[in-house]
Amino acid sequence: MTDPVPFRPFTYLAANAERWPEGPAIYELGEIVTFGEFFDRVGSLAVELRAVGVGPGDVVGVLLGSTWQYVALEIAVPALGAVILPLSPSLGAYELESALKRSSSAVVVTDFEGTELVETAAKRLGSVRVVEVGEVASSGAHARASAVEPHPTRPDDVVQIAMTSGTTGLPKLASLSAELKQLTFEGFTGRLGIEVGDRVLPLSPVSQGVGEMCLYALRVGACLVMAHERRFSADRGLELAEESRATVIGVVPTMIRRMLQSSAFDPAGLESVRVTAVAGAPMPPDLAESWERRTGSRVCGFFGAMDIGQLAVASPEDPQEKRWHTVGRPHVRAEVMICDPDGRSLDRGEVGEICMKGPLVQSRYWNERYGPFAEDGWAHFGDVGFIDDDGFVHVSGRMKDIIIRGGENINPYELEAVLVEHPDVSDVCVVGVRDPDLGERVAACVVGLPGHEVNLESLREFLKMRGIARHKWVERLVLIDQLPLGGTGKILRRELRDRVERVLSEEERASGGGDADAS
């Protein structure tokens, strides 16, 4: 019996194909691909990539949706000693061209939906070959798959380039080593208790974030359920979870809220889902409680960043209150510090910036001489939080999202957790908008419930009734049809902030430059 070799994902697939060749590896569009069949497909793709010149050290961009082909390439590319560059389907032409140029990509694999965009970028660069992925021929595939000798990957070899969210400019390119990926796999699947027989459904795109984390489940012999869609749909997500009998789903908080609000929501259809893995933004405790009480699925948060690494993962065995209010305990190989603005380490229970170092953190960005470390030797997440007396990590929100009004810090996530309970509100995002007097003021972008009317006065009265301090009350209201989401399902706060400031600027011009209400 073949044993998997750490740092080499192809060997995990080979072992699973040998142990249970008829076991389900992929569920997509109502059909099952067994481990034996999937091993053939991965091996065939590796042979095809080698035939077009892909070898050790080459960078292979992959622009695909949540399909079996993407999962296969995540295994086939490093099996050749090459480096995979996942490309989000939501990238624009400029972002795509920049990523391919800065990564020195040799090949990009895509499908018919991405061919035109990729070919345009490749033509401008002149040095990138575009390969359109198609159905893998089955004849002779097993013989070719068995003949693939995986590259002897070492722990410090870079096997993947990960694009950061790029909130302050072009995305950085993080260099993920085989060791980093191995430790992340062990931490994620171990804490969540994923095992043979599980069916894991990532509703976030598999090219990044929580969606990509779910792919590790394949290594332990679980089945991956592919959404196939490039954009999240609450109705389709609920339908797929029921249809596939998913046992674990991977989501961001906004997806949970939208599924709960969907007319298609039926707890009976989710009875197989034992764990809901959540990341991407702080999970409001009331939302976690509502989802868990209505579905029976245990909410488990986890926390990390594309360019720093996985810091903490919750377990379904953790106490309920911890799962609803924290992101779990730190990874066993992570060194964690909470620091004040001067970089001094804080005691348990004290709130500050979350920092990490250790083998879960990349050593340097791709083609750069520096990594995510500050002068103090720690990688700073830019997130605010604390570690409680039981060792669980609490995340309050992003430092850059904190609204500073007249010298007072206001956490927008705190206000959102309250405002979303307003009887007329379906969804909400709170942002700070510039103000010449106070520095910033509090603005709420609100999606109203159908047939309900939302106004600023009722929001302020609601916050008052809930005991929220007056200086935190909403001062600007913009009604929108839906919150804009990025490729991973996160709310695009900067886009909303810009939209609010445009609306306020137009209103000010129309009114002749009048000042806003204050308090």
Torsions phi, psi for 460 (to 5 deg) = -65, -40
| pLDDT at residue 198 tops 60 | yes
DSSP state of 437: T
Token pair for 228: 């196939």
Whole-angstrom Cα distance, residue 211 to residue 371?
A: 24
Cα dist from 267 to 145, 203, 293, 317, whole Å: 42, 17, 10, 22
Whole-angstrom Cα distance, residue 425 to residue 407?
A: 29
Q: Residue 515 contacts by C-beta under 8 Å, 6 or more apart in sequence?
A: none
Cα dist from 150 to 46, 79, 178, 510, whole Å: 10, 5, 13, 66
pTM, to two decimals: 0.86
Per-residue pLDDT band at 127 (split at 50, 70, 90): confident
Cα dist from 517 to 233, 234, 474, whole Å: 38, 38, 10
408-410 and 107-110 as β-strands: parallel, antiparallel, unpaired?
unpaired
Token pair for 449: 């419930």
Would you call 343 helix, strand, or coil by DSSP?
A: coil
Look at residue 486 in the predicted model and tell me its pLDDT. Answer: 79
Whole-angstrom Cα distance, residue 370 to residue 227?
A: 37
Cα dist from 433 to 429, 439, 443, 481, 500, whole Å: 13, 8, 7, 20, 7
Cβ–Cβ contacts within 10 Å for residue 52, how many? 12
**pLDDT tens digits along 259-291:** 999 999 999 999 999 999 999 888 889 899 999
| pLDDT at residue 167 tops 70 | no
3-state percent breakdown (helix, strand, coil) of the chain, nearest 5 = 35, 25, 40
Would you call 202 helix, strand, or coil by DSSP?
A: strand
Picking from 16-25, 162-171, 430-439, 508-517, which range would have the lowest pLDDT averaged per residue? 508-517
Q: What are the chain's domains?
A: 1-221 (3.40.50.12780), 232-397 (3.40.50.12780), 402-511 (3.30.300.30)
Would you call 322 helix, strand, or coil by DSSP?
A: helix
What's the CA angle centered on 146, arms 142 and 151, to 5 degrees?
Answer: 135
Whole-angstrom Cα distance, residue 356 to residue 330?
A: 10
C-alpha atoms less than 13 angstroms from C-alpha of 75 in its C-beta half-sphere = 26
**pLDDT tens digits along 49-106:** 999 999 999 999 999 999 999 999 999 999 999 999 999 888 888 889 999 999 999 9
Would you call 506 helix, strand, or coil by DSSP?
A: helix
- Torsion angle defined by CA atoms of residues 493, 306, 420 and 327, in that order, rounded to the nearest 10 degrees: -150
Token pair for 276: 């809901």
Token pair for 78: 């490093």
**pLDDT tens digits along 214-226:** 999 999 999 999 9
